[in-house]
Chains A and B, each alone.
Chain A
Amino acid sequence: MSTTTHSEAARGAKQVIQLEDATVRLAGDSGDGMQLAGMQLTNTSALAGNDIATFPDFPAEIRAPRGTLAGVSGFQLHFASADIYTPGDRLNALVAMNPAALKTNLDDLEPNGILIVNEDAFDTKSLKLAHYENNPLESEGLGDRFRLIRVKMTKLTRDAVSELGLSVKESDRCRNFFAMGLLYWLYGRSMEPTLRFIDAKFGKMPDVAEANRRALKAGYHYGETTEAFVYTYTVDRAKLPRGTYNNVTGNQVLAWGLITAAKMSGKDLFLGSYPITPASDILHELSRYKHFGVRTFQAEDEIAAVCSAIGAAFGGSMAITTSSGPGICLKSEGMGLAMILELPMLVIDIQRGGPSTGLPTKTEQADLLQVMYGRNGESPLPVIAARSPADCFEVAQEAWRIATRFMVPVILLSDGYIANGSEPWRIPDVSELNKIAIEHPVGREGENGEPFLPYKRNERLSRPWALPGTPGLMHRIGGLEKQDVTGNVSYDPENHQHMVNVRAQKVANIAEDIPPQAVAGPENGDLLVLSWGGTYGACTAATQRCRAEGLSVAHAHLRYLNPFPRNLEKILRSYKTVLIPELNMGQLRSMIRSKYLVDAKGLNKVQGKPFSVVEVMEKIRELAA
């Protein structure tokens, strides 16, 4: 990893080691501001030109009892001068703000890794809360196994802000900025972006702003003066493709993708949503963009959220509902209605650990079968999935393109890992964005005794999107089975068979309208890794490394889960073995097995955590050897 060393006067004459990448985790109590610190470190690294990938991990409780193991909140950042795909398997450095954070995170730290602890927090009470009998800083030989740096962070922070007359509690709240300052020094980062952030965020509270500034600088200067560190580190700019970049989280850029889709299709965006982790940030983000014609409706429940969106779709809006697994359960009946009405809209599922309330703040990919089959009757819907935070931007537009071209609700899957994780996103040139063409039938004078035919289909089998307010096109739609073409209620057995076939064929036709599946690696060989959704990074890194080891392994990552790309079967049959790693118990695997009769193998895990690259590599080695 380390290549060259050189010295740098500005950093306290320590030796500077140049790294290709570094993985750092900040862990503390949920009230310690670790997420904020992590986001700042991320932003700063992104602005320094690194490629980045993050993994925020926090408890479901807003403030779990202080100091407990359950209350630990962590933020992991992987920054690099090369292309990276995951937030990193092993930590090079861990900052533990209290004993509980040490206990729950230490296992992930690499041998001889940097371990920075706030030793002031290792008092009897906190040790007890973390179920430590003895102080691990004294007894566990930590100093032998890791590069242990004990910092009196509480005291040093209080000293730094003492002139400002803040209460002890307020002073202690600045400790995360002290920790940040120390990391900035350690990795040669500029404090400027965070100082700007402090101005913007705390501008209205000058005391707090000043305290955070001082704590940040105190942390930085502590690094310069302490003897505890032998080296400092630097990670060069990554060779990302040319362009201007923004550091984005999945939910944020998903919202931007939706706004873009609305703009590019000449539609006003309507969001009907009910707050739920981890989807709420999309509601928050969209509600800030009213000047784009965005209307957000915080409904009384999940059902009203989907139903209001269907109402808006009938009225001609770009209608969306966002939720997570438990909310999707409640929306199922509404989704079935939207399906039989054949109205375009988006249902966005930011998956989390289930079943039931499950693990609200943890990631999982276990809603695939629910969105595929979780409705009464024959009710196929298109499903597409984002693979990374930045990918959400394109997927949002693609979902809306399909919805309007085929007059069908489209399900977009993301997950907690993608939603809260961040990575650099190359800002597209607005002139390069694709228009999404939508046609509405025009009105007619009088009716000539001819009723309008709301279910008369085009060559794709999609029906006209006639909007209320258009003269001469009055029609009624509903959840009862309808006659094709006229849309009149029909209980005719042959017609029902016909309509079920037509609606299924329409969804199947989407395969002709999407790009063929791409494969990385050999066109045929020993092993194909087939993945979807948020496992993209781990599977990409794992297959690349295994190929470098000489294994015959290819990788196909699916964006389109229903319908599958038309060349998928051929791809599946080009390898001796197919491996499907999923953060569920084998949902895509059972779809692939039943559709193609391919004996795909699984790598399955439901622990609320993404795959590590090594986990996937081990399975590949086992199957491809």
Chain B
Amino acid sequence: MATELPVLTAQDFASDQDVRWCPGCGDYSILAQMKKIMPSLGIPREQIVFISGIGCSSRFPYYMNTYGMHSIHGRAPAFATGLKIARPDLHVWVITGDGDGLSIGGNHLMHAIRRNVDINVILFNNRIYGLTKGQYSPTSPLGKVTKSTPMGSVDFPLHPLSVAIGCEATFVARTIDVNIQHLGVVLRRAAEHKGVSFVEVYQNCNVFNDGAWEYASDKKVRDDNVLELEHGKPLIFGKNRDKGIRLNGTTPEVVDLNNGVKEDDLVFHDEKAEEPTLAYLLSRMRHPEFPEPIGVFRAVDRTTYEAEVNHQTEVAREKKGEGDLAALFSTGDTWTVE
């Protein structure tokens, strides 16, 4: 019997809880876009689970009218992995941040990604610890002066997407909190990808690290600092779309299209490339030397972890039949006492 899905709206995905982020926080925009794309996925609310760790971003599940778990610091990918193995039918999101996901939870993130568990990991990168009031994070730039680094941070930062690609991620994307249209599209693509989807969202913490992404979010300058990736299209950017990325050997360089460089000379984006070399190269392009790419870096097919685990269960059942306790208890040699 075919049941018709009720038509839902973004409002149906709002829980009855008051949202408690600071006014002006980039998290609001991400929450709004998430609620907005949800109805269009065609997945009943009860099939959706949001899991988070600890941090500002990790309050997210409380605000979604779906199933949710606000877990412990850094471990959300591990909870999600267990849940997905047990319940492959569920649609599972992990909400994390640069501290939660890359510092205390780096190990779990790495392993959930390499296993290709079918979850969507959204990492809100604000390059700071918000909830603990302003210490530097693994993505804070060198020299960052914070409460815990009064003379500037000497920690070399890491790039979330480079990490994800290094962990064999099958879907990698980047977007920006205030670029709501792009944000919506990327979240949707992440939801639709089978396997792990890793999305970095440039998120502004207007209280402790205001303007960290200004070069990429401010309408006045962003077109010159951000490059929107499109599959099969050349890497072109700039307010007048007159600048491009060309490879010089294995090194990317910015070229001026007004200077006789043709589009064909530029790098063409291929998100489906089996080898992640191009995606990695793109993930290394940093402001101000380069425009920072946003969009889908990589989207390839690979069987999911939970599918393989559950496949083995099926194969075992086919071979041995449904487990029988009496047979189990008699494994090996037995003897009878009369």
Q: Which A residues form the contact surface with B (CB < 8 A)?
A: 43, 46-47, 49, 193, 196, 237, 240-247, 256, 259-260, 263, 268, 270, 272, 289-295, 297, 299-301, 303-305, 307-312, 314-317, 319, 333-334, 337, 341, 427-428, 430, 433, 443, 451, 468-480, 488-489
B82 beta carbon closer than 8 Å to chain A: yes
B2 within 8 A of A: no
A246-B86 Cα distance, complex, nearest whole Å: 32
Question: Is the pair B312, A308 in contact by a Cβ cutoff of 8 Å?
Answer: no
* Bound Cα distance A198, B31 (Å): 63
User: Could you tell me the distance between the alpha carbons of A472 and B265 in the complex, rounded to whole angstroms?
Assistant: 56
Q: Is the CB of B82 within 8 A of A47?
A: no
Binding site for A on B (CB under 8 A): 15-17, 44-47, 49-51, 54, 61-62, 64-72, 75, 78-87, 89-90, 107-108, 110-111, 309-310, 312-313, 315-317, 319-323, 325-326, 328-338
Q: Are A433 and B325 in contact (CB under 8 A)?
A: yes
- How far apart are A269's CB and chain B's nearest CB, in angstroms? 10
Of A240, A333, A489, the residue contacting B72 (CB under 8 A) is A333
Cβ–Cβ contact B86 & A311, under 8 A: yes
> Can you sample 14 A-B contacts with CB below 8 Å?
A43-B332, A243-B336, A289-B328, A291-B320, A293-B313, A303-B75, A304-B75, A312-B86, A337-B72, A341-B69, A430-B326, A468-B47, A471-B46, A479-B72
- Report A435 CB to chain B, min CB distance, Å: 13
Question: Are B46 and A244 interface neighbours, CB within 8 A?
Answer: no
CB distance from B301 to the nearest CB of A (A): 23
Q: In the bound complex, do residue B313 and residue A240 qualify as a contact, i.e. CB atoms below 8 Å apart? A: no
Chain B contacts for A310, CB-based, 8 A: 71, 79, 82
B323–A291 touching, CB < 8 Å: yes
Contact partner, B111, options A259, A294, A300, Cβ 8 Å: A300
- Judging by beta carbons under 8 Å apart, are B89 and A469 in contact? yes
Q: In the complex, what distance in Å separates the CA atom of A50 from the CA atom of B45?
A: 60
Given known A304-B108, A468-B87, contact A263–B325 (CB-CB < 8 A): yes
Q: Which residues of chain A are near B310, meaning CB under 8 Å?
A: 295
Contact B86 A291 (CB under 8 A): no
User: CA A471 – CA B12 in complex, angstroms?
Assistant: 13
Contacts of B317 in A (CB 8 A): 290-291
Q: Chain B residues near A193 (CB, 8 Å)?
A: 333
The residues of B that contact A290 with a CB separation of less than 8 Å are 312-313, 315-317
Contacts of B81 in A (CB 8 A): 297, 299, 304, 308, 311
* Bound form: Cα–Cα A247–B70 in Å: 45
Chain B residue with Cβ nearest A242: B337
Interface centre among B62, B82, B315 (most CB of A within 10 A): B82
How far in angstroms is the closest Cβ of chain A from B262? 48
| Contact (Cβ within 8 A) B49 A468 | yes
Given A246-B334, A297-B82, A319-B82, is A259 in contact with B67 using a C-beta cutoff of 8 Å?
no
What B residues does A427 contact at CB under 8 A?
Answer: 329-330, 334
Query: Known interface pairs A299-B78, A312-B85. Does A245 touch B69 (Cβ–Cβ under 8 Å)?
Result: no
Q: Is the CB of B61 within 8 A of A476?
A: yes
Assess the A314–B69 pair: CB atoms within 8 A: yes
Bound CA span A317–B108, Å: 21
B83 touches A291 (CB 8 A): no
A84 shortest CB reach to chain B, Å = 15
**Contacting pair A245 B70 (CB below 8 A):** no
Bound-state Cα–Cα, A270 to B62, Å: 26
Task: Indicate whether A291 sits within 8 Å of B333 (C-beta atoms), given known contacts A270-B86, A476-B62.
Answer: no
**Which chain B residues border A478 with CB–CB below 8 Å?**
61-62, 68-71
Are B67 and A468 in touch, CB under 8 angstroms? yes
Query: Which residues from A are CB-within-8-Å of B334?
Result: 244-246, 427
CA of A477 to CA of B70, assembled, Å: 6
Main secondary structure of the interface of A (DSSP, over half): mixed
If A308-B79, A308-B85 touch, whether A47 touches B309 (CB-CB below 8 Å) is no
Tell whether, in the assembled complex, residue A259 and residue B328 are in contact, meaning their CB atoms are under 8 Å apart: yes
CA–CA, A307 to B64, complex, Å? 22
Q: Are A295 and B90 in contact (CB under 8 A)?
A: no
Contact A468 B90 (CB under 8 A): yes
Contacts of A337 in B (CB 8 A): 71-72
A303 cross-chain contacts in B, Cβ below 8 A = 75, 78, 108
Q: Which B residues are CB-close (under 8 A) to A477? A: 68-70
Residues in A with CB closer than 8 Å to B336 are 243-245
> Chain A residues with Cβ under 8 A from B50's Cβ?
476
Q: Which residues of A are found within 8 Å of B108, using beta-carbon distances?
A: 300, 303-304, 307
How many angstroms between the C-alpha atoms of A441 and B13 in the bound complex? 22
Return chain B residues, CB-CB under 8 Å to A289. 323, 328
Determine the distance from Cα of A237 to Cα of B338 in the docked complex, in whole angstroms.
11
Task: Give A58 to B64 CA distance when docked, in angstroms.
Answer: 54
* Inter-subunit contact A246/B329 (CB<8 Å): yes
Q: Which listed residue, B15, B312, B332, touches A247 by the CB 8 Å rule? A: B332
Which residues of A sit under 8 angstroms from B62, Cβ to Cβ? 476, 478, 489
CB of A333 to closest CB in B, whole Å:
5
Contact yes or no, A295 B313, CB < 8 A: yes
B87–A295 touching, CB < 8 Å: no
Question: Contact check: which of A291, A297, A301 meets B85 at CB < 8 Å?
Answer: A297
Q: Which B residue sits closest to A50, measured CB to CB?
A: B335
Contact of A291 with B316 in the complex, beta carbons under 8 Å:
yes
* B-chain residues with CB within 8 Å of residue A243 when the two chains form the complex: 336-337
What distance in Å separates the Cβ of B311 from its nearest Cβ neighbour in chain A?
10
- The distance in angstroms between the C-alpha atoms of A311 and B332, with both chains bound, is 35
Q: Which residue of A lies closest to B107 (CB)?
A: A300
Contacts of B44 in A (CB 8 A): 471
Q: Across the interface, do A295 and B15 meet the contact criterion of CB distance under 8 Å? A: no
CB neighbours (8 Å) of A307 from chain B are: 71-72, 75, 78-79, 82, 108
Give the distance to chain A from B335, nearest Cβ to Cβ, in Å: 5
Closest residue of chain A to B13 (Cβ to Cβ) is: A474
Q: Which residues of chain B are near A259, meaning CB under 8 Å? A: 323, 325, 328
Q: Could you say which of B17, B65, B80 contacts A474, with CB atoms under 8 Å apart? A: B65
Measured between beta carbons, the chain A residues less than 8 angstroms from B333 are 43, 46-47, 193, 196, 246-247
Partner of A334, one of B45, B61, B75: B75
Q: Give Cα A217–Cα B97 distance, bound, in whole angstroms.
A: 66
A295 in contact with B316 (CB, 8 Å): no
Residues from chain A with a CB closer than 8 A to the CB of B15 are: 476
B80: contacting residue among A260, A311, A317, A473, CB under 8 A: A311
Contact A311 B51 (CB under 8 A): yes
A476 to B45 CA separation, bound complex (whole angstroms): 13
A544→B47 CA distance, assembly (Å): 59
Residues of A within 8 A of B69 (CB): 311, 314, 341, 476-478
Which residues of chain B come closer than 8 Å to A468, judged between CB atoms? 46-47, 49, 67, 83, 87, 90
A-side contacts of B321, CB under 8 Å:
291
- C-alpha spacing A259/B326, complex, angstroms: 12
